[in-house]
Amino acid sequence: MVSQAPALSITLLLWLWVAAATPPIPSRSVYQPEELLLDLVSGPLQGRSIFLLHDSQSGFEVNLNQVLSHISSSMVMIANQENFSMDQYPSGYVRGENYVAVMLFSSSPTNFLNYLSESNVWNPTFLILLAMNTSIDTTEVVSHAVVQRSRYLVLFEQHVVNISKVFYMFTSYPFSPEGHRATLGSWSNKTITSVVDLFPDRYPDLQGAVLYLASWCDDFPIIYVSGDGCIGSSLDTLSLIAHKLNFTYEVQRETQDQHWGALENGNWTGMLGDLKYNGKDLALNWFLLNHNRWKAFDALYPYYAEGFGFLARLPEPAPRWKNLTYSFTTNLWLIIVCSTMVVSCMFSALMPRHMTEGTVDHIQQIILVCAGVVRQVVDLGGDGRWAWQRVWLGWWWLGCIILTTAYTCNLIAFLTVPVYTTRIETVAHLAASDLRSFLQLVSIPLQESTMQALSIKHLQGAFLLHLLGLVAALLILLLELFVFCLA
């Protein structure tokens, strides 16, 4: 009994010493949301702009100015959830990483979240939820689709632990077994000093999830049909990402409404409509990132693509009188004229015809050949002709028939179908041309090429020839008269 007394006193002393060495329980037994805000803003969120959305029930308004008077380095926007209107703010305030959104609520915010989800604009990269009423179902709050839009998400909940109030932190891992409301421990301004500490990565991987693509396999080489499935460069890339992030995907072969993806009368169509209305997760086709799409959808890794277009005025149709010559190419015309001349000379030399005794009328013979060329009856005179001469001339005239037939047929086509001078069809053509002024819109409608009945207009070439013949005859007449007068 006696021997126990010193031991007891030593234990007592030791306990007293330990008690004395333990730091005192924090005097601040009630940790107010205002203080949490202040700690956040002077700690991990230092220097960041804040967009604060409170509800008026919290009675928080009164204290806000006091809290915010401590903040000098940051931009702070304050809005009341009850009369908050998305249109009042530029999208940069409620979307992206410019502002850290802080939402305070003292009763269930479901109505407000539903209001936010009506717009595509709300999507702050960093979102802090501050629940100041323990009876709110915060699992429901963090599961809300509009809350899940944010890439980084932290929920603070006030709990009473051993009389003092502390804030517990939660986040949401939608793909993980930990579920939508995963605990992160209690808030401490000592351990959490930066944005990286505050906001955990919600998507370290997707835990074997299946993503549904709002794709259209009609976008070579990005994604296109091959055999029974779809392949393409975007799918190759996605496979690599899928392997790394542990997910699989299902490709959609074409969109449900056969559109590409645009905003029509306030509704999205095509792939973007599938994303918004038909439960798809990802689109990976080619999209121009215009203002509407940028406002409504998040895009990853846009890459640069460019194209050039050249506009050149459509050349006028070839002049009408050329109708007569266009049937044949210049070379063909040359060959026909040359061969006619050669044949005429040969005919004249090999088969001289004596018009009057002793004289050979070469001109008459050339005219005979030409008459044959234009399908006129030719009288060879009959007597003393050799068979080879007949064969030779026969085949020659047969060839002429083919040529004239071809000409006649082609002429009909050319009389009715407009013919244009050579058009510019490639960049090489353009470089070779003398055109140097581009980017002008062609406003004249294209000339229709329809079948037309032949009229005087179409055959003005033939009349031109008549006119030339008349003029020539007139000149010769004058010449003959002149010669006659001299004689």
Ligand X SMILES: *[C@@H]1O[C@H](CO)[C@@H](O)[C@H](O)[C@H]1NC(C)=O
Interface with ligand X (CB under 6 A): 39, 43, 56-57, 80, 82-83, 106-108, 133, 135-136, 161-162, 189-190, 207-208, 246, 265-267, 277, 317-318, 320, 322-323, 326, 414-415, 418-419, 457-458
The amino acid sitting at 266 is G
Q: How far is the CB of 414 from ligand X (least distance, A)?
A: 5
Report CA-CA distances (Å) from 384 to 353, 388, 390, 397.
11, 12, 11, 20
Q: How far is the CB of 344 from ligand X (least distance, A)?
A: 29
Q: Is 96 helix (H, G, I), strand (E, B) or coil?
A: strand
Residue 125 and residue 99 in contact, taking contact as beta carbons nearer than 8 Å: no
Measured from the CB atom, the residue of 174 and 317 that comes closer to ligand X is 317
Report CA-CA distances (Å) from 248 to 73, 206, 228, 243.
45, 9, 18, 8
Measured from the CB atom, the residue of 103 and 415 that comes closer to ligand X is 415
In whole angstroms, give the CA distance from residue 410 to residue 449: 16
Measured from the CB atom, the residue of 224 and 321 that comes closer to ligand X is 321
Q: How far is the CB of 46 from ligand X (least distance, A)?
A: 10
Residue 262 and residue 271 in contact, taking contact as beta carbons nearer than 8 Å: no
Measured from the CB atom, the residue of 40 and 50 that comes closer to ligand X is 40
Measured from the CB atom, the residue of 168 and 224 that comes closer to ligand X is 168
In whole angstroms, give the CA distance from residue 194 to residue 50: 15
Q: How far is the CB of 177 from ligand X (least distance, A)?
A: 7
Measured from the CB atom, the residue of 89 and 212 that comes closer to ligand X is 89
In whole angstroms, give the CA distance from residue 189 to residue 46: 12
**CA nearest neighbour of 433 among 442, 441, 423:** 423
465 Cβ contact partners less than 8 Å away, ≥ 6 residues apart: 324
Q: How far is the CB of 246 from ligand X (least distance, A)?
A: 4
> How would you classify the pairing of strands 229-231 and 223-226?
antiparallel
Shortest Cβ contact with ligand X: which residue?
208
> How would you classify the pairing of strands 49-54 and 99-105?
parallel
Q: How far is the CB of 260 from ligand X (least distance, A)?
A: 17
Q: How far is the CB of 291 from ligand X (least distance, A)?
A: 19
**CA nearest neighbour of 205 among 177, 237, 236, 170:** 177
Measured from the CB atom, the residue of 165 and 353 that comes closer to ligand X is 165
